[in-house]
Amino acid sequence: MTKLDETHDPAARSWVASARVEGCDFPLQNLPFAVFRRAGSAEAFRGGVAIGDRILDIGRAHAAGHFSGEAAVAAAHAAQPELNGLMALGARYWRALRRALFRLLREDAPARAALAGCLVEQAAAEYRVPARIGDYTDMYASIHHATNIGRLFRPDNPLTPNFQWLPIGYHGRVSSIGVSGQAFPRPRGQSMPPGASAPVFGECRRLDYELEVGIWIGTGNRQGEPIALDDVESHVFGLCLLNDWSARDIQAWEYQPLGPFLAKNFATTISPWIVTLDALAPFRSPWTRPADHPQPLPYLESDANREQGGFDLRLEALIETAGMRDRGEPPARLSQTTFAHSYWSVGQMIAHHTVGGCNLAPGDLLGSGTQSGPGEGEAGALIELSVGGARPVALPGGEERTFLADGDRVVFRGWCERPGAVRIGFGECSGTVLPAARA
């Protein structure tokens, strides 16, 4: 697990004024990575780091000679149009670059004046998926979500027999993963109407979001050489927010026996910023398992995972309907929960993913599965909030939703905070539902 160092000092402040604003997502202690360019320009995409409401152009800073040693090696890779090279370098180089960036952006940095010209306004930038994703796996790691969903279809036995024994997942589609701001047409497919004897083809009528955490792989592993639980975090570059959009009516008809297909492959949206595990070090939490539940098999068990395997990452889902936009109203909160409720830890998901010999590569992406909590208003999907569509969710202006309508924009936010540490955020992950494309 990452140890605290100078980059976590809560008293440290940046010379970038917006990074000192209370509640800012991107203070000096965060320093997340993205790939950007000025919006509407023909500039090449390149790597940058968020600081306040600005982006530090790493390539420009590197060309000006502001990095040395291992930090310079890492900066050269971080300046590229894809972050795979940086991810492949490993934790020693990631840490060296983080320390160098921290010292360059700290209030008393001697290079302050020279670096001012390397800043770009976030509001004037556009982003793309920050790495070349070779493979994408979506997990199913929240027992509260699994129980809520299971009750809709199997009231007497909501959990599948294997859920408490292993992290469940399926391999998803990479080509339709987009960055925040993604807009996509409502999917089409087959569904089986209640009481019908044959399926029908048409537009999805039960479109949903799923509030998830994305897990970016840094260094990979060789095929046939599993990653041990206590070694996992040297292979994880960082986390982001992820919306695994779901066509529930299509999914209900197609998922047996092989799982999701058209119900999931039409769009997945991620936030542009990758928050590193180093930045998240002050917000680690114990990973726990109720004593009366099955305990993990040995390859999924360790003292370190029990002590610090969790993340107290607060998660929030909001909705902005077309009517709310017309009325000038802000997005309305649908739910709020924390990643600390996850039944399986990040380490356990990856240890299990590789235990059979699967090789992960730099830039591979995992979704955590929908993150729901035990309390009222902690569900991470509309199908839970609306109890399968039976109880509409009330929204401002007299609107209500059981599932998403055309024109709805869903926004995810994430942040970490605790006494004695500086709050850090993940920015936004937003996506908009468009009408189905014409056949």
SS3 421: coil
Place of tokens 């497919």: 189
Phi–psi pair at 393, nearest 5 degrees: -90, 125
Candidate list 145, 235, 341, 352, residue with the active-site label? 145
Report the alpha-carbon distance of residue 375 to residue 365 in Å, rounded. Answer: 29
User: Among 375, 278, 296, which residue's Cα sits nearest to residue 336?
Assistant: 375
Q: What is the DSSP annotation of 6-51? A: GGG-TT--BSSGGGGSTT-SS-TTT--EEEEEETT--PPPEEEEEE
CA angle 406, 411, 417 (to 5 degrees): 165
Cβ within 8 Å of residue 228, ≥6 positions away: 299, 351
Phi, psi (rounded to 5 degrees) for 357: 115, 0
CA distances to 65, 245, 369 from 172, in Å: 41, 12, 12
- Based on the residue annotation, tell me whether 341 is a catalytic residue of this protein: no
Active site residues: 145
